[in-house]
Chains A and B, each alone.
Chain A
Amino acid sequence: MSNQQQNPDAQDNSLDKIRQLIVGRDDKYVKDVVSRDAKVIVTDVVSEALHERENADGSVNKVLVPLVEKSLHRSIEANSEKIVGTLYPLVGTLVRKAVSSFLVDFVERTNALIENSFSPKSVSWRFKAWQSGVKYADFVASQVYQYQVQQLFVIHRETGTLLHTMSTDPDRSKDADLISSMLVAINDFVADAFQPTGNEAENELGEIKTGDFTLLIKIGPQAILVAAVVGSVPPEIRSKLQQTLEEFHQFYQKPLLEYEGDNSAFEGCETLLNDCLISQKKESEGGKKKHLVGALVLGAVLIILMFLAFLRIELSILQNTIRSLTPPAGIVITDTAIENGKVQVRMLRDPSILTAPQWLENEGIALNDVVLYEEPFVSLQASVVEEKLNRLLSVYPAVTSRIDEKNNLKFSGNLPLGALTQFTRELNAIPGILQLKPDLSGISITAGQAMSNKALKEALLAELAAQVSAVKIDFATNQQALAPSQTQTLEDLTLLLKQLQDVAQQLNLTFAVFVMGASDNSGTPTRNLELSRARAKNVSEALINMGINEDVLFPIGLGQVSLQEASMGRTVFINVLVSQRSSNEGETP
């Protein structure tokens, strides 16, 4: 106990010694054991540990990124050829995609620019594009890009030997091997002459151009693809070549890497290269011929159209001439049109005047191209009425006419009674004669007749009375107003009544005109009576308006008249009653 208390330091030392014996100095034994199995221990947990540490504070990434970058850099520096070879097909595709999307965008914008531009050339190109049914932009491209890939070379990059060639002209392939070697030599020469740093990958020929001839050179890791192009090189050829070269590398990777001068491995590459042997020629002879035929057809069509237009113009002129003519009295042109290569003229013509063909011939118009459609009508034009009157007078030479101071048409002369009656009837038959205010009182009945003048006049009076009594004016159902179609009847009636008045006066007779309105039996009797009265009244008023003395008119409403034919009842009858004047009246001063 006392020992224990006395030597605490000695006890501590012995414990240390024991620990040293077990774990070794500075834990050496433990460290040895651990380091012996370190690989196994770390292997078991390394992934999980990295994962957990990264999740905890993200420090793994911080440490790894610079390391990876550094080692990648070193690796590329050391094995650049190898890495380029591996990445080449991949990068090529990526770049091509990016470039093509840029180009599409660019072309679209150029398209818009071109579309908006306006020059004589663009107009002619637009027309040609429309003619050949292609998009304008495509047509412009075809005009700009006219080319032919005449020959293709696939060259082994290392040795400069020709792997394969294709040509549009077989004779050209003869010295392709020398040409390809020469090309590689030139390429080496350029690389050497203009690139002192010796970084050959960055300084290789892409294109050799002289005038219209271009050598397009696409350089891959093991092979070079060269296209001899004549004409303007369109951008799609370059991408096509690039793509083909990449495909070539893919297909022939092994033979390319193991190449020792034997070309037999590349025999089948023609199908691959065929796509590049393209051309876009200017329009061929056939196209020209087609154009010639097109031009001829177009010309013929134009001539026919011009001929038709000429005919049409001629007809139009004829139509206008006819339209501008002033037709004679009795002809009214209602419509003109051009149909079936002729001018169609529709007209109304009073049959009493000269025929339409006569009139047109008088105007100097040939009738070959004119078709006439006539509708007869009665013209009330003064000149037509006069013409008709003159014709009548020519039949009755004994009668003359003149216009008196009151503007009445005064007839004078001598006629036998029969002839006078006939003349009166025919005169009254002339439509529109009333407007000339005819006065027959100047015609004397010739003495040669057996009858006295008074008797003759009495006979004339009776005749006129009979004619007046024969007049009837029809109405529509339940209508009391006069129809326009009845105007002529009323005018005729007025004329007869005036003549009657004249003759009656000469004979010192008096007369009464009964205007008898009637109605059919539709409707109530009261209404029908009213209607019949109104009809009679309207006719009377019309006659008064046309100059008939109101005192001689006696409108009467008959009410409904039940006749077999209903329409016969809707009318106004006229009846004349002639009587001697009473002595008182006659003697009244």
Chain B
Amino acid sequence: MIQKKVCILGPTGVGKTSLVKQFVEGIFSDKYKTTIGVKIDKKQVNKDGLGVQLLIWDLEGIDRYCGFNPRYLRGATAYIVVVDQTRSQSLLEGMEILAMAQEHYPDIPAFFVVNKADLPSSWHWSEEEVATYASKFKSMTKTSAKTGENVEDLFSTIAFWSE
């Protein structure tokens, strides 16, 4: 079976961990994440009789005061930048994170996730502005970790992504 490493990045409180929890049944408790800044889960995704095991590295929330350890991205097949559509600032922070990641690993495909789709969009960004930012990514997905909307699709897309 093919194994793929996927990293999840994003500002604090956008729901990265919830997103992963929605996708997998967590095995490690969250305390690991606060220790070394990363929590790892795995999930097998099947499509057309092919199986891919995703190893999902859930990185600690990143804010403007602390960056993230770019080493964690090494060897990843893809990474996801998660933002929260109820907080305008999260989009800007997400873009900063993308810039940082691309600085170290420009070849790894990045995926854009706008989370909390179950809540009404309350940021001041227009659809066009969001689309402009999203163009820097391979794809954009609106998800809800609460309802599970598009979560399976997101990981399935990443698992079988090919350029």
Contact = CB atoms under 8 A, between A and B. Distances in A.
Given A175-B27, A261-B4, A159 B36 contact: no
Interface in A158-201: 158-162, 175, 177-178, 181-182, 185-186, 188-189, 191-192, 200
Contact of B27 (A161, A178, A192, A262): A178
Contacts of A178: 27-28, 40-42, 55
Contacts of B5: 159-161, 181
A260 interface: yes
B72 interface: yes
Nearest to A163: B3
A73 B4 CA distance: 37
B99 to A, nearest CB: 19
Nearest to B56: A181
Interface string A261-272: 111000000000
Contact of B57 (A157, A162, A185, A186): A185
A289 to B, nearest CB: 43
Contacts of A261: 2-4, 52, 77
Contact of B3 (A177, A182, A192): A177
Interface residues of B, number: 25
Given A177-B55, A182-B40, A263 B27 contact: no
Given A175-B27, A181-B40, A181-B57, A162 B72 contact: no
B28 A185 contact: no
A192 B69 contact: yes
Contacts of A158: 74-75
Contacts of A185: 36, 38, 40, 57, 72
A537 interface: no
Contacts of A260: 2
A296 to B, nearest CB: 53
A498 interface: no
A533 interface: no
B45 interface: no
A349 interface: no
A188 B36 CA distance: 9
Which among B5, B27, B57 has the greatest number of chain A C-beta atoms within 10 A? B5
A472 interface: no
B1 interface: yes
B140 to A, nearest CB: 25
B2 A262 contact: yes
Nearest to B69: A192
A188 B55 contact: no
A161 B27 CA distance: 17
Nearest to B41: A178
Contact of A177 (B32, B53, B69, B77): B53
B71 interface: yes
A188 B74 contact: yes
A54 B72 CA distance: 54
A156 B5 CA distance: 11
B40 A162 contact: no
B76 interface: yes
A188 B35 CA distance: 13
Which among B2, B32, B40, B74 has the greatest number of chain A C-beta atoms within 10 A? B40
B52 to A, nearest CB: 8
Interface string A201-236: 000000000000000000000000000000000000
Contacts of B42: 177-178, 181
A156 B74 CA distance: 11
Given A185-B57, A192-B71, A162 B3 contact: yes
A182 B27 CA distance: 12
Given A177-B53, A188-B71, A188-B74, A263 B3 contact: yes
B109 interface: no
Contacts of A160: 5, 55, 74-75
Which among A160, A162, A260, A263 has the greatest number of chain B C-beta atoms within 10 A? A160
A161 B55 CA distance: 8
B15 to A, nearest CB: 21
Interface string B35-67: 011101110000000001101010000000000
Interface string B1-42: 111110000000000000000000001100010001110111
Contacts of B40: 178, 181-182, 185
B16 to A, nearest CB: 16
B36 to A, nearest CB: 4
Which among B28, B37, B74, B75 has the greatest number of chain A C-beta atoms within 10 A? B75
B53 to A, nearest CB: 7
Nearest to A264: B1
A177 B77 CA distance: 16
Contacts of A162: 3
A185 B38 CA distance: 7
A344 B71 CA distance: 96
A262 B53 CA distance: 10
Which among A157, A162, A181, A189 has the greatest number of chain B C-beta atoms within 10 A? A181
B22 to A, nearest CB: 18
A189 B36 contact: yes
Contacts of A188: 69, 71-72, 74
A165 B2 CA distance: 16
Contacts of B71: 188, 191-192, 200
A156 B77 CA distance: 13
Shortest 8 CB-CB distances between A and B: which pairs? A159-B75, A158-B75, A188-B71, A189-B36, A261-B2, A161-B3, A261-B3, A192-B69
6 contacts: A160-B74, A175-B27, A191-B71, A192-B69, A262-B2, A262-B3
Interface of B: 1-5, 27-28, 32, 36-38, 40-42, 52-53, 55, 57, 69, 71-72, 74-77
Given A158-B75, A185-B38, 13 more contacts: A157-B75, A158-B74, A159-B75, A160-B74, A161-B3, A161-B55, A177-B55, A178-B41, A181-B55, A181-B57, A261-B2, A262-B2, A263-B1
